Structure 1
Amino acid sequence: MGFQGSCPGCGGEVEFRFENSVTLTCPHCGSLVGRSGDALEDYGKASDLTQTDSPLQAGISGTVKGRTFDISGRIQLQHPEGAIWSEWFVAFNSGERWGWLAEAQGRYYLTFPKDLPAEVDIPDYDEITIEHKITIPGSGRMVVVEKGEAQVVAAEGEIPVSVRPGEEVRFLDLQGSSGKYATLDDNDGQWELFLGREISLRQLGISDAIESRQSELAAAAAVSASCPHCGGAIEVKDPAKAERYACVYCDSLLDCNDGNLKFLKALKQKASPTLPLGTKGELRGRAYTVIGFVRRQADGFNWDEYLLQTPRLPFHWLIHSDGHWSLGKPVSAGDVTMTYSNAAYKGQNFKLYEASKPVVKAVYGEFYWKVRLGEQVAAWDFVRSPFMLSREVTQPNKAKPPRRKKKQRGKAGAQARWWYEKADSSDESNDAAEEETAKREVNYTLAEYVPLSEVEMAFGKDLPSVSGIAPHQPYPYKHFYFPIVCVLLAALLVGGLFTVAKLPRKLSTGQVDLVSQFSEIEQGPLKITGGSNIGVTIESSTLRRNEWIWVTGRFYDEKRKKLLYTQGSFAALVRGKGRTRKVISALPASEYTLRAKVTHGSGTRTSAGGALNEKVAIRVEQNVRSSGNLLVLLGAFAVPLGLVGLGHFVFAGRRWHNSNAD
């Protein structure tokens, strides 16, 4: 049931429409009004809302899993380093149940307050480090991805918690597998749990409701301004999120507050972006605008990163090094498992390629954090061609954290930032004090290798040619493996079908008694049809272990009266009680006689009259299988397959040449 009263600040009428809402913003004077029973209290005035291009607004309704909700209001919170995000409050059943909908860098997280199970042991705030693992019953293992502080700077509408301007909160953001998400707020040493998951506007049932807001959202589009240092024309593409702007004309670093620029310092840098700021293109099905440029250096190597913006979607990065390009996007730490030398992401295994501490060497354009020269992160790069999985951990300055006035419900959505840096003590600036924070964060980014030609086509630019091999560059001839193997399998299948279709056909079987050391044998006539192999099997059951027979044979064509010396000839050796089969290629269709000469060796056992007492069986068949044909087929494919494989081996070796992994 609603509640009406007078604002204690201005006397204007205020109305609490939702059950259990305890704070609202007075529509007349902007004061935060709190209620306790029938009593109203003036909590003070908050700052004006920072205008954003958010598709959300108070009053929008939606549906989650069949349950209708209303967006009742929001608070805006600010990191000590300046970034602002919104946390919306959604009321189910007119406020009987409340949810927290956090919005940050185009991503949305819906969480609900939950009682923290007694068996969950969470250390004190000061003892927790980034990537600390916490197991929450029902949600599994969660990973701490951000540890920091924030301050309430603005509010709008009705809110289910007590909110005062300037209140500060210490929080932990956690990510789990498959989009699970949680926030832990430190309330005077007691943890408060808010549990949920990442969610899309369509899943919230409000994707259609924002269509009517397109004209309003356009008001938060790019802002044109002049550099306060050199007067150059500047266009801030995303004024709601931009924290810093580096002028491309005079190398000045500017503070950016809703598009209002203030000179901070001269950067004295030398860098020229390959893709100019403002360049537009469509890559991998998504339209981008280049709004920022960062040059980084680690272990003597330089590479460039371009910040890509798509309205109301998470930022992406385009990384350039030695003519190689990669498209990077943020991924959840909860989907990553890692050891010292290996990492896994959604079932895919990655191998450590490099550990480094990259430093910012040049910046141009706008950024959603307060970038400056000398900033540094600790980074680990894991590769699985064509992907690179990067882990980056920020390390805060050693400044004393700001005094906290009160602990209360804080941030429920992580800033989807991909890269944060640590200030270099050797690069002090006149704004260093405001940069010092107690914020710690880990970010995982999945970058996919993009061919040079694809980037050129996407942005309509002629780009520098490729040099060397990138750590995650795929082998350029890898695509040959599949057709070679497919053709080989097809050939084996066809050969197998022919073999099954043509069963062996017996032409003759005979046993011959050897009467002397040298004997001649004839067997026939043999009616042979063309087109299939001939098999001659020779077997002896009377030879001793140290005895052998040597058989040479030829087929005589009875119709043509011709002895086949090459095509229809064979030679075979039989040792002891053994068997030998020789396969002869197909002969022309005709009637043949097999003529064979048999030589007996190492034998001393003869009959009384000097005759041998050996028996030799000879069997002639047609349509027999030939391993020789198979070997020829395999050999024909082994050459190209071997060349491709050898090239792949050499390529992989060169790809790992610059790795510093142990």
Structure 2
Amino acid sequence: MQTVACPSCGAPVAFRSHASVLAVCEYCRATVLKERDAVRDLGKMSEVLEDYSRIQLGTSGIHGGRSFTVVGRIQLRYDAGMWNEWYVLFDDGSDGWLGDASGQYVMTTRREPAPGWPAFEAIQVTRQYDVGFGPYVASDKRVAKCIGGQGELPFRVGAGWEARVADFRRGPSFATLDYSDANVEQPAPLLYAGTAVTLEGMKCQLLRDDEQIKASAGKVRGKVDVLQCRSCGTSIRYLPGLAANCVCPACATRMDASSPEVEVLLKGEEHERVRFTLSLGAVAKIGAQTYQVLGALRRADDEGETWDEYLLYSTQGPFFWLVETSEGWSRSEALDDWPTPPLPDMRNVQVDGVAYTRSWAYPARVLYAAGAFNWRVKAGDVVQVAEYEHGQNGLAAEYTQEELTWSRSSPVADDQVRAWFQLPAAGAAKNAREPMRQRDIAWKALLWILGLNFIPLLFNFTATFFLIALGLVALFLPMMLAPDKQS
């Protein structure tokens, strides 16, 4: 470890890794550049936005039989959201990166790219490329900007620094081609490769607890908070730091609540709300965990068939979707271990040794969105969908020009969903209306009988008035006293 004095404030700045060339002073936020025989102040580094990650500088764990420690971080934002890249130092002196996005993690280390690597502009999502160790499918392509940083880093970076990256997947394996510093003299991208991981699987220590997160971010990670729509004042339940892209259910205003100052992305207009089976904020008890509906979508295919999707979250579990179609309910979760072959235009794919056959391919358009989501979404968004089946279970690939995702679904009985959310049984409403229908029929029948018998009485109305009144009471009094089961 090397310790230098901050050229801005004089505080000690530690460089744990010999590969680190830059560190952010924790006292004055100065960006300290380490040169051969001196250090230089490159200016202030922006603080990371509301920090809800469980990871922090000093978090340690084990990956691939090697112990590691988190020593730095950069925070990156792109059109649809943001993510963290944590710089880690292994106990053998090597380094790597721990990607952290919406509760999903990947660990990668530096590798040599294969000859014939593609140009950034030429990469097409869903196509396969050999990045150095066999074919991988391009899963993501984006341009992001650095919005903050902490600790020490292996290259020069500052607020506004632009990252041009493409991600690739094969099964649980993951790779990134980083074109950020590629130029005419050095056109080759940097290659980082590794695998999807979990914090529990890496036996991570010194993770932040709820109180530490609240102290830095102002709110507890995973606790649903309420945001007032900046346009109409409607309350929106959202998840700070994880599902902070909000769409007002009343006026469709889109907001980004991932930073201290809520940003209005697009002002909406008053419109009729779409009726969903599950309401925003509805709570479900699923096993030992409590889930809450954060967002709801209505989507349609190119033939006009519609279905609804609900985003659910628990503080003890990851996001998942409940999908409601004309055929019933299903539960869908994002995959970390992707199918092989991974392309959505293949006829057959395998996951965990199980073969799935493609059944449908179609565009899906968002007709209506309301609530909070872990990415930016709006009415009119279109993705291409390829569905695969194996018995009652299914896979779905959803892709655009920028991103490809895979999810696995399984059917859920309607009675099970109603039990989770404590909804009335499917036939309860129908049965409740039935007594009213029967009484309506009885009333109409009595009116017809009265009408037919009233005609001859008109010719001698004075003499028969008492009898008419008595008959009316005898006919209608039982119906009036009959209990109304619907009330």
What TM-score range do you get, normalising by the shorter chain? Answer: 0.7 to 0.9
Secondary structure of residue in 2 paired with 1:51: coil
Of 221, 224, 238, the residue aligned with 1:222 is: 224
Q: Is the counterpart of residue 383 in structure 1 residue 396 in structure 2?
A: no
Match of residue 123 from structure 1: 118
CA contact (8 A) 1:23 1:34 kept: yes
Distance 1:390 1:64 in 2: 30
Secondary structure of residue in 1 paired with 2:246: strand
Report deviation, 1:48: 2.4
Match of residue 490 from structure 1: none
Secondary structure of residue in 2 paired with 1:27: coil
**CA separation of 1:288 and 1:68: change in aligned 2, threshold 3 A:** same
Match of residue 43 from structure 2: 44
Report deviation, 1:103: 0.8
Of 299, 304, 316, the residue aligned with 1:300 is: 304
Of 349, 370, 374, the residue aligned with 1:368 is: 374
Report deviation, 1:153: 0.9
Match of residue 86 from structure 1: 84
Distance 1:345 1:286 in 2: 30
CA contact (8 A) 2:52 2:240 kept: no
Secondary structure of residue in 1 paired with 2:189: strand
Report deviation, 1:318: 0.9
Report deviation, 1:340: 4.5
Match of residue 319 from structure 1: 323
Read off the aligned partner of 2:357 and give its amino acid letter: K
Q: Is the counterpart of residue 112 in structure 1 residue 109 in structure 2?
A: yes
**CA separation of 1:252 and 1:130: change in aligned 2, threshold 3 A:** closer
RMSD: 2.5
- 5+ residue gaps, structure 2, are 215-219, 428-487
Q: Deviations over 1:460-514 (max 9, x none)?
A: 223757xxxxxxxxxxxxxxxxxxxxxxxxxxxxxxxxxxxxxxxxxxxxxxxxx
**CA separation of 1:373 and 1:65: change in aligned 2, threshold 3 A:** closer
CA contact (8 A) 1:269 1:362 kept: no
Q: Is the counterpart of residue 349 in structure 1 residue 346 in structure 2?
A: no
Distance 1:239 1:24 in 2: 28
- 5+ residue gaps, structure 1, are 396-439, 466-662
Of 181, 185, 188, the residue aligned with 2:174 is: 181
Q: Is the counterpart of residue 153 in structure 1 residue 126 in structure 2?
A: no
Report deviation, 1:345: 2.3
Secondary structure of residue in 1 paired with 2:242: coil
**CA separation of 1:308 and 1:125: change in aligned 2, threshold 3 A:** same
Q: Deviations over 1:304-350 (max 9, x none)?
A: 11111233754211111126111111125742325756231223333
Alignment map for 1:389-428 (pairs within 5 Å): 389-395=395-401
Distance 1:269 1:343 in 2: 42
**CA separation of 1:222 and 1:286: change in aligned 2, threshold 3 A:** closer
Match of residue 638 from structure 1: none
Distance 1:132 1:325 in 2: 32
**CA separation of 1:133 and 1:34: change in aligned 2, threshold 3 A:** same
Read off the aligned partner of 1:384 and give its amino acid letter: H
Read off the aligned partner of 2:268 and give its amino acid letter: A
Read off the aligned partner of 1:215 and give its amino acid letter: E
**CA separation of 1:122 and 1:271: change in aligned 2, threshold 3 A:** same
Match of residue 66 from structure 2: 67
CA contact (8 A) 1:52 1:241 kept: no
Report deviation, 1:375: 0.9
Secondary structure of residue in 2 paired with 1:456: helix
Secondary structure of residue in 1 paired with 2:389: strand
Of 123, 132, 147, the residue aligned with 2:127 is: 132
Alignment map for 1:197-236 (pairs within 5 Å): 197-206=195-204, 209-210=206-207, 213-217=209-213, 219-220=220-221, 221-236=223-238
Alignment map for 1:561-580 (pairs within 5 Å): none
Distance 2:144 2:323 in 1: 31
Of 275, 280, 301, the residue aligned with 1:277 is: 280
Secondary structure of residue in 2 paired with 1:271: coil
Identity within the alignment, %: 27
Secondary structure of residue in 2 paired with 1:190: coil
Q: Deviations over 1:356-415 (max 9, x none)?
A: 2111111110112221111111112222231221111113xxxxxxxxxxxxxxxxxxxx
Read off the aligned partner of 2:120 and give its amino acid letter: Y
Distance 1:50 1:326 in 2: 36
Distance 1:325 1:258 in 2: 35
Match of residue 2 from structure 1: 2
Match of residue 442 from structure 2: none
Distance 1:53 1:312 in 2: 15
Secondary structure of residue in 2 paired with 1:453: helix
Distance 1:314 1:453 in 2: 23
Q: Is the counterpart of residue 141 in structure 1 residue 140 in structure 2?
A: no
Read off the aligned partner of 1:344 and give its amino acid letter: V
Secondary structure of residue in 2 paired with 1:37: coil
Match of residue 463 from structure 2: none
TM, length-normalised to structure 1: 0.58
Distance 1:66 1:227 in 2: 48
Read off the aligned partner of 1:253 and give its amino acid letter: R
CA contact (8 A) 1:342 1:349 kept: no
Report deviation, 1:101: 0.7
Match of residue 358 from structure 1: 364
Distance 1:260 1:310 in 2: 25
Secondary structure of residue in 1 paired with 2:330: strand
Distance 1:271 1:32 in 2: 50
Match of residue 422 from structure 2: 460
Alignment map for 1:524-603 (pairs within 5 Å): none
Report deviation, 1:227: 2.1
CA contact (8 A) 1:143 1:334 kept: no
Distance 1:242 1:12 in 2: 37
Alignment map for 1:627-646 (pairs within 5 Å): none
Distance 1:112 1:341 in 2: 30
Distance 1:105 1:115 in 2: 29
CA contact (8 A) 2:58 2:70 kept: yes
Report deviation, 1:454: 1.4
Secondary structure of residue in 1 paired with 2:233: coil
CA contact (8 A) 2:237 2:372 kept: no
Match of residue 437 from structure 2: none
Read off the aligned partner of 1:161 and give its amino acid letter: F
CA contact (8 A) 1:319 1:326 kept: yes
Equivalenced residue count is 411
Report deviation, 1:163: 1.5
Match of residue 30 from structure 2: 31
Match of residue 259 from structure 2: 258
